[in-house]
Structure formats: structure tokens, C-alpha cells
Amino acid sequence: MKRLPGLLAALALAGPFLAATSAAQTSLAQPPTPPVPRPVAETPASDLARRLLKAAATSDDAFLAFIHEADPETRLTDDRWLALRQQIKTLQLHGVEQASATHADLSVFDPDPDIWARFSLDVTAEAPHTITNLSIHPADRPGDVAPPPRLDPAALVAATRARVEAAAEDGRFSGAVLIARGGRTIYEAAYGLADRDAMAPNTLRTQFRFGSMGKMFTAVSIMQLAQDGKLDLAAPIGRYLKDYPNPDIATKVTVNNLLTHTGGTGDIFTPEFQSHRLELKDAKDYVALFGARPPRFAPGARTEYSNYGFMLLGRIVEVVSGHSYDDYIASHIFAPAGMTVTGALPETVHLAQRATSYMMRNGQLVSAADTLPWRGGPAGGGYSTVGDLTKFANALMASHLLDHVYTGLLTTGGFTGPNGAFLRYDFGAQAGDRRRYFGHSGGAPGMNGELRIFPAERGQGAYTIVVLANLRPPAATGVANFISDRVP
């Protein structure tokens, strides 16, 4: 189930004081590529932003000393600031995009997840200038920075091996990687430990929890039912969930809204979830817990990542098909694709090949078991291998799961919202200056996964990238970004 990757997750720790935008939210509306930077006059805001990044890169003591000076009335504890420091200490300043006396936007690069971002800081107008808000958002590569060179297959494999081995060596990666070209595997390897207590290594057969990557199976299931004429994507969900508790959601939120995270249906990771974590065993349990909630905004008004929205899609699959969600995807997705080791069995079931998920707590890597849902479901949380997910990609692209029309609709389509904006399905094409790809990512404490399918087009060959890790984001995302930037 999707949570914010890497440095964005750290900002989310700070609550309302800090703002962060997930990659899923920005995929529908990436910020425009900035022009080639010109010198920007320094201001109190840009000076404070520079000093903050420098302090973060120095040490815990230097960072806290700076924070106590620059935000003397902070609402955050030192521990939470230090958690933030761990995520931003590697940010490399590229330049100041714009600055006023009270606001500055800095272009930064994070070499671990291989992403560009915009670091923004607001300060008081009066001296001494103190922090009032800071945020970080994914951004396009600056116009004066050349993209990494595209590599031929052999060079891509060599570069990937070097990148992953270095990350594994210093503890930033533990998992498995697979690259396929035209359906043929050209690189696959596993690194790190699946079980640190038993010193059991990860292998290509290791089953990794994949977080929100499971949303791909839910989206394909919905499209299969639409293709068969059993479901109307434009229909309100109340047509299928006739006893849905909240009438505003039942009558106004459409299947399309759920597929694009524009329904205002909210999340599931709430205090109520924590209180009932081990009681929530299928989609209808989540509906019983959250179904009375009102919408957070009018359908289509904005995009807000909603795990609960995909729980609703899973419940629709059950009602329309007459089968449980697990039985439906097993017979309509896993079996046709030849996926034999993908599933969502409860955490109480021991699987010899399932990796332990590890998270950092009090400076130590520990099992993330006490944060996991009882089992995976329509919003994600299941497990798979790099090989099985490659089979899924191959089956999808060969039109074995959907016909050509509906495969295209899923991977490049969407619908036009009430304000005239095109809203892309949560499976859609990558924006920006990389090659177009589709698929899904997943991330939560102790897990991170990426499936990226690059279709053959404009003289470029087809590639599939699968990266799974039993560490938090950006363990897998950083590797996937590195490979994606260099795919020929």
C-alpha cells in the first residue's frame, strides 16, 4: 500500500507543518521543466534554505543547532527533526530557482533514489528570519543538466550491477532485480538478507511484500469486467455497492474516480486502522469501518492518493463477479499469466520463501511485522517475486489479460474531469523526460517495489524492469530510477 517514498516520507512525519506530494499524485500533473537557471539574487529565505541543507549534511548536532536557531518555536521534537535529517542529508543543491524575502525554491538532487526535487522554504518577513514552512516536491531535471546517456544492453547490465552492488554493500539495498529486453531476461540478481536472524539470503525465488503494486491486479480486474460488459467505468459506485453507507460517495463517486484517485474517498492508514489492524481481513471489513465517512472533496476536484478507493474497487470486483477478490485474481490474472508464487496470504501463515520486512527503529533495523495489515488486498500488501511480476508484464503486453483496446485504455487512458483536465488511470504513462513506461510502485515500512514496462515504440526496444526490496523506500525506487534513466 502506497506511502510516500524516501525523503518525501520524512517530510510526512512532520505533520501539517510540512507539505509533501507523492509521486502518484504528481504523475497526473508534473511541474513544467524549468528553464536554464539564471543567477538569482540571494534573499533571507534562500540563505536560510542553503544553511539548512548544509547543516543537514554536516551532523545531527549541527542540524539541531541550526533548527533551534531557525525555528525556535518548532512544534516538532528533536527526534522528528533528526528523522527528517536522515532523509535530506544527501540532498545536493543545484541552484536557486527563485527567491523572495520570505520564500525560496531550490533545485536539489537526491542521488539515492536518483530523483530531482524542488526544496521550498518560507520564512518570516521580520528579522531574525525564522522558518514558517518547508516542503519538497518531485521535479523535472533542470534544463541545464544533461540526462544520463542511454546505454546499450551490455553496458546497461554492467552499470546496473555496479549500482546495485554498491547500494547493497552499504546497506541501502536488500532485494532482487530483473531486467528483460523484448521478453528475454538480460539481468537478474538478488542481494542482502531475507531473514537477518537466520542469516538467510535473498534469492530470485524470495517472495517480497510489494505494497501498492497490488493495485495493478485490481485495476486489471476492473478493466476485465468492463471489457466483458459487466461494469460501466463512468457509473457511480452505488450501482454496484447498493448498500454503501455514505450516499454522497455512493451516488457521485464513479469507478473512474477510484481508478484515478480523484474520488475523495480518503486513506485507510488512520488511528481506526491501527485499532482494528488485525480484524480487517477483506474489502468488506474496510467498508464497514470507513464507509460512513463523507467525501473529502467533490469527485474530480483534485487528486489525492486513496488506498481506500482501491479497497472499494476490490469490493466491486467481488460483487460484480460473484467471487472473492482473491479467487478472482487467482483465476483471471495469476493463472493466465503463469504466476505461481504471488499471493496475499495472511501474515499468520508461514511462507518459507517470504522475506522479512525490515524498518529502522531507534537506529536499528527491526521487523516491520507490527505495522502490516492482517493480509494483502485490493489496495496492495501482497507478495511476489521478480520472476512472477515479469510474467505479469509479459501477459499484459501480449493481451492475455485484456484485449488490445482495454490494455491501451488501462496503460494510457483515463477520463476528462469536471474542470476539463485529463485524469490518467493509476497505471499510466510516465511524464517528464524519461522514456514512457507504465506499471506501479509500492512502498511502506520494510518494503519497496517497482514494475516498469517500457513498450517498444519509435525505434526503441521493449524493456521490463522489476525491483523488489525488503527495506523501506527508496531502496527499490532508486535502483529502478537509475535503470530507467539509462534504458536505450
* 346 against 233, higher pLDDT: 233
pLDDT digits (tens, 9 = 90+) for 90-121: 899 999 999 999 999 999 999 878 889 999 99
User: At the fourth CATH level, which superfamily is domain 209-484?
Assistant: DD-peptidase/beta-lactamase superfamily (3.40.710.10)
Which of 43-62 are b and which e, b meaning 16 or more Cβ less than 10 Å from the residue's Cβ? bbbbbbbbebbebbbeeeee
For the chain, give every residue range classified as CATH 3.40.710.10.
209-484
pLDDT digits (tens, 9 = 90+) for 420-473: 889 999 997 665 557 889 999 999 999 999 999 999 988 889 999 999 999 999
Pairing of strands 18-20, 131-138: parallel
* pLDDT for res 373: 85
- Calpha distance 265→263 (Å, rounded): 5
Partners of 116 in beta bridges: 109
**Side-chain half-sphere of 394: how many Cα atoms within 13 Å?**
18
**For residue 192, what is its C-alpha cell?**
542482502
Write the secondary structure of 249-300 as one string of H (helix), E (strand) and C (coil).
HHHHCEHHHHHCCCCCCCCCCCHHHHHHCCCCCCHHHHHHHHCCCCCCCCCC
Asked whether 92 and 109 are in contact (CB, 8 A), the reply is yes
pLDDT digits (tens, 9 = 90+) for 253-311: 999 999 999 999 999 988 888 788 788 888 999 999 999 999 999 999 999 999 999 99
For the chain, give every residue range classified as CATH 3.10.450.
6-138
**pLDDT band at residue 17 using 50, 70 and 90 as cut-offs:** very low
Q: Is the pLDDT of residue 12 over 50?
A: no
Give the DSSP H or E segment for 475: helix 475-484
pLDDT digits (tens, 9 = 90+) for 162-218: 999 999 999 999 999 999 999 999 999 999 999 999 999 999 999 999 999 999 999
- Calpha distance 448→445 (Å, rounded): 8
Pairing of strands 193-195, 200-201: antiparallel
- Calpha distance 102→108 (Å, rounded): 19
Phi, psi for 403 (deg, rounded to 5): -75, 175
Coil vs helix vs strand at 447: strand
- Calpha distance 368→378 (Å, rounded): 21
Query: What pTM was estimated for this model as a whole?
Result: 0.84
* pLDDT for res 406: 97
pLDDT digits (tens, 9 = 90+) for 367-425: 988 888 888 899 999 999 999 999 999 999 999 999 999 999 999 999 888 888 899 99
Partners of 118 in beta bridges: 107, 137
Partners of 179 in beta bridges: 187, 465
Cβ count within 10 A of residue 327: 12
* pLDDT for res 199: 96
Q: Is the pLDDT of residue 7 over 80?
A: no
Cβ count within 10 A of residue 302: 16
Which class in CATH covers the domain with range 6-138?
alpha beta
- Dihedral over alpha carbons 284, 287, 288, 293 (to 10 degrees): 180
